[in-house]
Amino acid sequence: MTFGTGAGAIPALDRCDVTFAAGQTTALVGPSGCGKSTLLRLIAGLEEPSTGTIRIGGQTPADVARAAELAIAFQDPSLLPWRTVRGNIALALTLARHPADPAEVDRLIALVGLAGFEDHRPAELSGGMRQRAAIARCLATGPRLLLLDEPFGAVDELTRLRLNEDLPRLWEARGTTTLLVTHSVAEAVLLADRVLVFSSRPGRIVADLAVPMPRPRKRDLTRTPEFHAMVDAVSAALWATGAGDRPLAAE
């Protein structure tokens, strides 16, 4: 994938040939600016590839998006400030031409831990609560593909740990295929079935690591030797890219 033409062209991704298994959670890690978010935007149909093709179950990203089977959440929750939590989630269903069943919307709100805040507007919520609402909005249409671009990066560490434990159960229960961009090695290992490590720009996949730990995963897992061994393996792959003075922090 290259942005621009001629002498000013900027290569973002190089020889990115990858297949994602249905129902699996895959984490994308790598140096800043290596093309991880670009790959998500390509898969979402927000960018057109300069070369190559992208297919989701044989369909184009545009086809999947039109069928409301694809959802994306960014670091910024991007909730409509004049709508309540319930209103933001219901709007996603309306735009997807799905019936906005109030009982189902409230059930989803409860699942993400926002019961009691249904009628609050974004300005009345903490950062973590806004992110929960944004992910509930993504899940409302029952997408078969969920794209998460550093969705927990703007919340405090305690909230991030809670979201890491609580939210994956929602998309796992639905069999959703999930792609997660993160700068945290520990988060990648905790959440993913597979970790792809990218080189510096232009991004290439330099390591494809399976995470052979059973689900559901609790925070206690982060204290086990198996977890730390996996974190070390991902960190070593990042270190081998030569990007920066050290691998990304395994916080």
The reply to whether 189 and 237 lie within a common domain is: yes
Residues 121-166: tens digit of each pLDDT: 999 998 888 888 888 888 888 888 999 988 877 677 777 787 788 7
Domain shared by 178 and 125, yes or no: no
Query: How close are the terminal C-alpha atoms of the chain, in Å?
Result: 31
Tokens of 190: 């905790």
Structure tokens at 168: 């994956």
Q: Is the peptide bond before 202 cis (omega within 30 degrees of 0)?
A: yes
From the list 171, 169, 192, 190, the residue with the least C-alpha distance to 180 is 192
Residues 7 and 119 in one domain: no
| Run of H or E including 41 | helix 36-44
Boundary (domain end) residue, out of 98, 115, 142 = 142
- % of the chain residues with pLDDT over 90: 29
Q: Per-residue DSSP letters for 60-115?
A: -HHHHHHTT-EEEE-SS----TTS-HHHHHHHHHHHTT----HHHHHHHHHHTT-T
Let me know whether 226 and 207 are in one domain. Answer: yes
Q: Which of 124, 142, 160 is the last residue of a domain?
A: 142
23 and 124, same domain (yes or no): no
Q: Which of 206, 196, 225 is nearest to 40 (CA)?
A: 196
Q: Are residues 149 and 185 in the same domain?
A: yes
pLDDT digit string, tens, across residues 177-201: 999 999 899 999 999 999 999 987 6
Neighbours of 184 (CB within 10 A): 21
Q: Looking at the structure, tell me whether residues 172 and 233 fall in a common domain.
A: yes
Structure tokens at 82: 């004049």
Q: Of 142, 160, 182, which residue is a domain's last?
A: 142
CB 224 within 8 A of CB 243: no
Both 171 and 185 in one domain: the answer is yes
Contact yes or no for 150/183 (Cβ under 8 A): yes
Do 61 and 88 belong to one domain? no
CA–CA separation, 70 and 102 (whole Å): 22
CATH number of the domain where residue 212 is located: 3.40.50.300
* Containing structural domain, residue 22: 1-69+145-251
Q: Do 26 and 47 fall within a single domain?
A: yes
How does pLDDT run across 48-87, given as a tens digit for each residue? 877 788 888 888 988 888 888 888 888 778 899 999 999 9
pTM of the shown model: 0.84
Cβ atoms 88, 133 nearer than 8 A: yes
Which tops the pLDDT comparison, 154 or 234?
Answer: 234
Same domain, 166 and 221: yes
Number of domains the chain is built from: 2
Is the domain of 10 the same as that of 52?
yes
Residue ranges of the alpha helices (H) in 152-249?
157-166, 168-173, 185-191, 225-240
